Amino acid sequence: MKQTTITMTTENDKNEKSRAVPTGQKYRSVAHLMDGEGVSEGVRSAVKKNLAQTSVVTQLAELRHAAGITQDDMGKRLNLGQSAISKLESGLDDELTLGQISGYIKATGERIGLFFGKPLSHEQAIKMHAFGLKAHLEALAALANEDEKMQTAVNAFFGEAFFNFLSIFAVCKQQLPVGESDFELTMQVVRDEPLSTSTMLPGRRQSTLLV
């Protein structure tokens, strides 16, 4: 009698799962993991593309988690079922409606900005925010002119905000590669008390900023 041997290829043939242990290699993000574990460019670009198509949906789900709202609760607030919320959060940004976004924002008590169009470069984004800051600072200055109490409060706020801006610049500047630099940020705090000088970054050119 003729015998036929049938070889079945199963999923398990890909590798026998034996005892696994943690590798000890830790990554701070999926992007970092993919770099470190040698994931191919094709897979990395597919992940990136998918995340770009679901960026708003993911952020809405993040807001819901941060507010401690379940999908069921969110469904009730939006007059939808839990499964509709699950589907919405698993969908693409293009499928979202403004009403749904608005519903999430009302439920979580957050405020968001939506931008459409070509992404801004970092430089353009910084300029855009700087113009926004200028408009708000001017509005505060106008308020300060109306009332003496407000003037004191706005003055204090300007001083604090100015110090914070400088600190942010100083911290970011420190992340630049070490080397010759034409730029230096030095801050001098002037008060009624004896002068104290704090040099935030070493360098050649000096500019004194009065707070």
Partner 1 sequence: MWQIEPSTQWQKDQKWYEKKRPNELAAVLANLSRYMKYLKASKNSKCLEAGFLHHEPGGVVALDQKGFAGNLQETRLYIFAVDVTKTVHLITIGSKNEQHADIEFCKNFVEQLRSGEGQTP
List interacting residues with partner 1 (CB under 8 A): 11-12, 14-15, 17-34, 37, 39-40, 42-43, 46-47, 50-51, 54, 58, 61-63, 65-66, 68, 70-71, 86-87, 89-91
CB of 106 to partner 1, least distance (A): 18
Pick between residue 37 and residue 138 the one whose CB is nearest to partner 1.
Answer: 37
The continuous run of DSSP H or E covering 197 comes out as strand 196-198
CB of 36 to partner 1, least distance (A): 9
CB-count burial class (<10 Å; 0-12, 13-18, 19+) for 1 = exposed
CB of 93 to partner 1, least distance (A): 12
The dihedrals phi and psi of 3, each to the nearest 5 degrees, come to -100, 140
**Strand duo 186-189 + 196-198: pairing:** antiparallel
CB of 113 to partner 1, least distance (A): 18
* Dihedral in degrees, nearest 10, Cα atoms 94, 99, 104, 109: 130
Q: Which residues pair with 197 in a beta bridge?
A: 188
Pick between residue 22 and residue 179 the one whose CB is nearest to partner 1.
Answer: 22
CB of 51 to partner 1, least distance (A): 6
Q: What is the spatial distance between Cα 121 and Cα 125, in angstroms, rounded to a whole number?
A: 6
Q: Two tokens at 113?
A: 């900005």
